[in-house]
Structures are given as structure tokens and as C-alpha cells.
Amino acid sequence: MTSTPHFDLFRSRAEALAEEGATVDQAPFDDEGDHGYDGEQLDREERSALRRVGGLSTELEDVTEVEYRQLRLERVVLAGVWTEGTATDAENSIRELAALAETAGSTVLDGVIQRRQRPDAGTFLGSGKAAELHDIVVAEGADTVICDGELTPGQRRALEDVVKVKVIDRTALILDIFAQHAKSREGKAQVELAQLQYLLPRLRGWGESMSRQAGGQAAGGVGIGSRGPGETKIELDRRRINTKIAQLKRDIKRMKTGRDAKRASRKANEIPSVAIAGYTNAGKSSLLNRLTGAGVLVQNQLFATLDPTVRRAETPDGRPYTLADTVGFVRALPHQLVEAFRSTLEEVGDSDLLLHVVDGSHPDPEGQISAVRAVMAEVGGDRLKEVIVINKADLADPEVLMRLRANEKHSIVVSARTGEGIDELRRLVAEELPQPEIPVDVLLPYDRGDLVSRLHADGDVVSEEHTPEGTLVHALVHPRLAGELTPYAVEPAASR
């Protein structure tokens, strides 16, 4: 087993930036001298309004009481199994797990990686290495071990028996972060559904919690309702969870109907849609704020924003379109979350253009691209026209940027923080959006100025002439507007 250095391996980017004299929340001036492009950031104030105060804990020492109490600021040791790839890949995975743990509110003390062909079926690490992990936990004073993978219920129990502290896996950690950051009613329902689906096969109990439930005069097995096997407490819990899961699925389905209605309204009005997708902390919300001034929360933190945000934007030539910011992805995103957030991710699959944001300063940007594309394929996003937006150009290595540009032909380099490349991105979006393609020649009476205005707003006006009878316009329009203009159609100018 190899042990990574304490702390320095797991410093967050916020600490690194602090050493360089910058701050995570710093918003530099853009070209116009406006440093407020991230909006009012009210969510940031709300999150920082409550802070932990040390030395006030009344936490019980009994572990059976702690298990179901509010999560405290935990001191964790990370454990990973390196089964494939290079040592750098394994370290990058552990670094990402450390960032996830910090986002969840934990203090990372140490991390270990073991080289194996496959995780041990019993204790994930193997009995000998699990014993070494116990010694590290004792030496560091940790109260939790986080494993970089999904543990079976048996692996979790066996490893807890060895290390003598709570053990959770990567999936449980990500679910906890989602539960902390979900704000909308739909987001909370989706996270709760994912948590219950994860919990259902992992229910466990001990002592009387496993005993049979009996009614009537149960003493001595006498009385009506006490005959027969009865229902165990764990069976009762499973039934309640299944009932709750069914209810949440119905609730989410009803919420999806409302979002579908809004999407249908936008499509009926021929408004193109652009979706922003990418790895978590790649800068999707910063890019949305830079393009629209949406004021979405921006933090140097994994999964800082979960709830999708749709904002109106305009191309440089004045054509409107919608810009949707979606939930971020991560390597090995828990399948429970993909299923629970499927209705939200469908917003991406129905878009006209996908802006795939990549962190150019990340140690493995190609791995980020592959992880995002794997999830996008599950919701139909692989069929969309895709533009790779390589973000954080101000922090990235120029050689990495050149390599990404060479590998991804349809790509652009930007910095949402400094504004570099944003104007070029706006022009590229305008070029890639669907263009009006139905030619019309219409003579509009002067009392139908509303249709002339719509032609300029939603179509591409080729020529316009004011005649005694009205406004003669030759333009390219979308199908719906072409139908509304049919009563005013005239012969094309070339044939007159």
C-alpha cells in the first residue's frame, strides 16, 4: 500500500489560489470595467450566513446514537484501489475524492492507494491492508474512512469491523453533497429519491430491531395477531422506503409535466435552446453569468449548483435563444443520481446546441470529456451539435490548450473569469444555432406593424420596401411564422 503525503496532496484549488494572492470569490474587471457579471450572488450570502462554531459540541459518544444524528465536521482518511491506468490517474482520482470530502464539510487527514487487480470481495482492500488502514486511522485520530468506489453492504460492514470507525463510499459522499446543495422542490425530491434507492439494499439492524413484529397479547406467543412469523422491523423499513420511492417518482413525474410545458412553449415560439453541460467545477455557472448576467451562485467547489437554470440570451445580431445550465457531472457519477435526474437532463437532450465546458487547468481534461460524454449518451445528448468550450484559459498550461484544440476540432478557448474569448463564443453560438430557412415575400398593411416587428426579431429580413399599399418584405422565417404570413403572400420580386 502506498501512502500519499499529508495535506499537500489534498489542498483545494482555493488554498492554491490563496497562496498566489487571489481569492476564490474574486471577480476581476472585464473589458468594460464591470466586475459584477456574476450577479448579486444572494445564494453565496445565504450559505455563509451559518457557520460552525468550535468547542460547543454536545455530541453523544455512543456510536449507536451518532449514526442517525446530524452530520458533524468529520475527520476522514481516504482509501482507494488502483486497478487500471497509471499511477497519475490513481492519484487524480484520490485528489478528486479529497475535493468531494472537503465540499461535504470534512477535514482530509491522509489518503492511501493500494495496487490490486480488483477490489477485495471481503474488505475492499484485503484483510492485511485493512489492518494497516486501521493503524493509520488511529494515528491520525480519524472518525471516518471514505473509499474511492462503491462498496457492497458486506464490504462496508467487514471494513468497519476492522477499522473500528464509520466507513462510507464515494456514492454516499456524492449523495450527501447533493442533499446539502439541492434548493428547489424538484431538486430535493430527486436527491431524496436517489438516496432512498441507494439505501434500500443497504438496510441493516441489530438486536431488537431485527425481531418479529406481533400484535395483541404477544407475551409468550399468546394472543390474536401473534401467531405466525410476523414482519421484521427491517422488512417494515423496506416497505416504507418502497412506498416513499413510488410517491417521489409520481411527484417528479408531475413536476416534469410543468417543465415539458415550458419547453413546448419555447419550441412553439421557435426560440432556439442552448444547453451548458460539463464536469463539475469546470465553470459552467460562471460562463452562464458571463453570457447572460444570470447571478447564479459561483464557488470554487464541486457541485456548488445543482438546480437547472434557464436564462434568455441574444446573439450579436439580436436573435433570442435560451441558455440552460445543468447539473455537473463527475467520474463514476452514481447511477441512482443519473436515474433520479433523468428528467432534468432531458433538457439537454432537447437542445439545439450543446456547450460542453471543460476545465483546461485540470490535470486530466480528456478524462473529464469522456466522463461527461458517457452520461450524455444516456439521455440522448450524444446526438446534439457539440462545441467544446475549454474554460479557465488564464490558469491552463498553453501546451494543454494546444493539445485539446488539436484533439477536439470543434472547440474554443475562453476564460469566464477574465472574459477572454467570450465575444468569439457569442459569435460561434450565433453561427451554430438553427437559422430561418423558409423564404417568404409578403405585402403587410401598415396597420400590421406587429408582423413587421416579428420578421425583424424572429426572421432574417433580406429586403424591405415601403409602398403605397404597405410594407413589401422578402425574408427567411421559421415554419410557424411562415404560416401566419400566408394571407399576405405576394409573388417573389424576381417573377414580377
Domain edges within the chain: 271-432, 438-488
Ranking 20-29, 157-166, 279-288, 436-445 by mean pLDDT, the lowest is: 20-29
**CA neighbor of 39 nearest in space, from 326, 285, 273:** 285
Query: Who wins on pLDDT, 111 or 296?
Result: 111
278 pLDDT band (50/70/90 cuts)? confident
Q: Output the 3-class SS for 324-378.
A: EECCCECCCCCHHHHHHCHHHHHHHHCCCEEEEEEECCCCCHHHHHHHHHHHHHH
Which neighbouring-strand residues pair with 386?
354
Q: Is the pLDDT of residue 412 over 90?
A: yes
Q: What is the reported pLDDT for 194? A: 86
**Is the CB of residue 359 less than 8 Å from the CB of residue 208?**
no
* pLDDT tens profile 55-69: 333 333 444 443 433
Cα atoms in the Cβ-side hemisphere of radius 13 Å centred on 53: 4
- Give the model's pLDDT for residue 265: 66
Instruction: Give residue-wise pLDDT tens across range 127-149.
Output: 888 999 999 999 988 989 999 98
Q: What's the pLDDT score for residue 50?
A: 40
Is pLDDT of 25 > 60? no
Residue 475 near residue 455, CB atoms below 8 Å: yes
C-alpha cell at 58: 454536545
% of the chain beyond a pLDDT of 70:
71
What does pTM read for this prediction? 0.66
Question: Can you say whether the dihedral through the CA atoms of 249, 252, 256, 258 is positive or negative?
Answer: positive
| CA pair distance 273, 291, nearest whole angstrom | 14
Rounded mean pLDDT, 215-232: 52
Lowest mean pLDDT among 137-141, 145-149, 343-347, 411-415: 343-347
pLDDT band at 476 (very low <50, low <70, confident <90, very high): confident
Whole-number Å distance between alpha carbons of 14 and 416:
17
pLDDT at 1 over 70: no
d(CA 277, CA 398): 23
Burial of 246 (0-12, 13-18, 19+ CB in 10 A): exposed
Residue 367's identity, in one-letter code, is G
Q: What are 372-394's pLDDT values in tens digits?
A: 888 888 777 777 888 999 999 99
271-432 has CATH 3.40.50.300 classification: yes
Cell output for 117: 487487480
Angle between helices 398-407 and 365-378 (to 10 degrees): 40
In single-letter form, the type of residue at position 356 comes to H
